[in-house]
Structure 1
Amino acid sequence: MLGLLRSLWSFRAYVASSILSDFKTRFVRSRMGFAWVVINPLAQVCIYAFILSGLMASRIQGIENRFGYAIYLLAGLLAWNLFSEIVDRLMKVFINNANVIKKVRFPRIVLPVIVVGTALINNAALFVVMCVLFALFGYPLTPEILLVIPAALLVSAFAACVGLVLGVLNVFIRDIEQIVPILLQVVFWFTPIVYPPNIIPERFRGLLELSPVYHLVDVYHRLIVYAEPVPWASIAYVVVLVLILAPLALFLFRRASPEMVDVL
């Protein structure tokens, strides 16, 4: 672990320049540029709001605002987009950088760090836009909303653990890249993002609460939508999972790293 941290610190300039380069590669040739970071999720919100607002608006409790459903959606998607982006990009990170890995000697752990850093910046831009929209909707911004910053770090840590394991496995079992998007869709629809948890029958809520993504989205909803205190039980559950998964993910990464070059 200490060796990985020392490697990251010695390559900190490379990590920063790679994050900047990633932005340039993704947006410099686009007329809309960085706006695509927020246009895609906002389009997603508009589609769901247009289709489901009439059905769900009356079921969103505790929001006295005619844009209540859109507000609820934005908060949930803010957490989900960060999680899904990190998992999806980490799953492909070693395969997408196969030429670099085979030709250049460097600590490969910097590749996942670059992905997480880029995703956090993308999510921060979406968070700023979301705050502006809330102000336009006439929804009050409370001090609790600032706690989304450490919540985003927790989402990133959990997603990084899951994504790193999937990224290593994907090098050796390419079916992973086909299976994971399906699983992400299942997790998305079994997480109260486009619907409130109160519509789920009581007998099934216990099963949904086993999902760490459920708790992460719940943290965002409580802090952003309802301005409630930090749900420590939800946070503790995810923190424990991260503390268990992180050493396992790093162990798998270190054991598989020497063989990755041959397989890639």
Structure 2
Amino acid sequence: MSEIVNPLKILFGLFSNRVLINQLAKREITSRYKGTYLGVIWSYLYPLLMLSVYTFVFSEIFQSRWSSGVNNKVEFAMVLFCGLTTFNVFSEVLTKSPTLITQNVNYVKKVVFPLEVLPVVSVLASLFNALISYIILIVGLYFFLGVLNWTIIFTPIVLMPLIIVTAGLSWFLASLGVFIRDMGQLLVILMQALMLLSPIFYPPTAIPESFRFLLNFNPLSYVIENMRKIMIWGELPNWQYLLTGTLISVIIFVCGYAWFQKTKVGFADVL
């Protein structure tokens, strides 16, 4: 058990399966658009269309403004797009997690297949889509606002806690989805609630002070805020939140992996 809960051992095990993970991730990305006329081009077209919609809706219809210094209506759309893109990395993976094992029963039957790579593959596929969205966001910031902040180099560091905690929770949910088939429906509801409770459509300052402490329990709050800092406003990330979030994420990552390894021996009996 001591080997299982060692983060370095976990990373080494995943690294040893890097070729398999890479192949499965590529297959998942291409399968999303298989049979469509535009194929993988949809990966670029969808976020571009969404950014255009957000810019039009919030600048022309709602005429919304961000209460923390954002006066440009187009910039508001960028702020919203950045928050939603970051949230979607988390939401997309966790919503799919409860069915990762049940939809891949053929892998369960294979004794030598490392089932623990499936949540990691899902995370990588989601990151691929997010990367395209972030690139479009950067291009949009440059052409619409004339902004190209050097602080975007911190993107991998800022996203790291999100990636780690998403993988850890995905292991938990992938295991629970085998034994509790209602997890999928429950996750859809929880993700909708979490989206509204995260500072995506509003700044943290919009929350009454008596309830603002609840943001500390939301794993997305500070990642979203830090992404906006480095991409849109050219500020350094909040290092305290980044360090704390990373430590908590590593704990969830290790616990999720240990839980998955402990419970996967019963998958074949249930399926």
> Which TM-score applies when normalising by structure 2?
0.87
Q: Could you tell me how far 1:107 is from its partner in structure 2?
A: 1.3
Question: What do you get for the CA RMSD once the two structures are aligned?
Answer: 2.3
SS, match of residue 107 in structure 2: helix
Map of 1:239 onto structure 2: 246
Q: Could you tell me how far 1:190 is from its partner in structure 2?
A: 0.7
Aligned residues: 264
Q: Decide which structure has greater helix share.
A: 1
Which one of the candidate residues 173, 181, 184 is aligned to 2:180?
Answer: 173
Map of 2:212 onto structure 1: 205
Whether the 8 Å contact between 1:144 and 1:224 is mirrored in structure 2 is yes
Gaps of 5+ in 2: none
Map of 2:108 onto structure 1: 101
Cα distance in 1, alignment partners of residues 163 and 226 from structure 2: 14
SS, match of residue 97 in structure 1: helix
Cα distance in 1, alignment partners of residues 52 and 180 from structure 2: 37
* Amino acid paired to 1:14: L
Q: Deviations over 1:35-87 (max 9, x none)?
A: 33344445555555555556573334333534111111121122111111222
Whether the 8 Å contact between 1:56 and 1:195 is mirrored in structure 2 is no
- Are 1:26 and 2:9 counterparts? no
Gaps of 5+ in 1: none
Cα distance in 2, alignment partners of residues 101 and 80 from structure 1: 30
Q: Could you tell me how far 1:183 is from its partner in structure 2?
A: 0.5
* Amino acid paired to 1:16: N
Q: Deviations over 1:152-172 (max 9, x none)?
A: 232111111112111111110
- Are 1:68 and 2:72 counterparts? no
- Are 1:16 and 2:22 counterparts? yes
Structure 1 pair 48–122 and aligned structure 2 pair: CA distance change class (3 A): closer
- Are 1:145 and 2:133 counterparts? no
Which one of the candidate residues 109, 117, 120 is aligned to 2:124?
Answer: 117
Map of 2:265 onto structure 1: 258
SS, match of residue 58 in structure 1: coil
Greater Cα offset, 41-50 or 151-160: 41-50
Cα distance in 2, alignment partners of residues 102 and 13 from structure 1: 21
Cα distance in 2, alignment partners of residues 185 and 101 from structure 1: 31
Percent identical pairs in the alignment equals 28
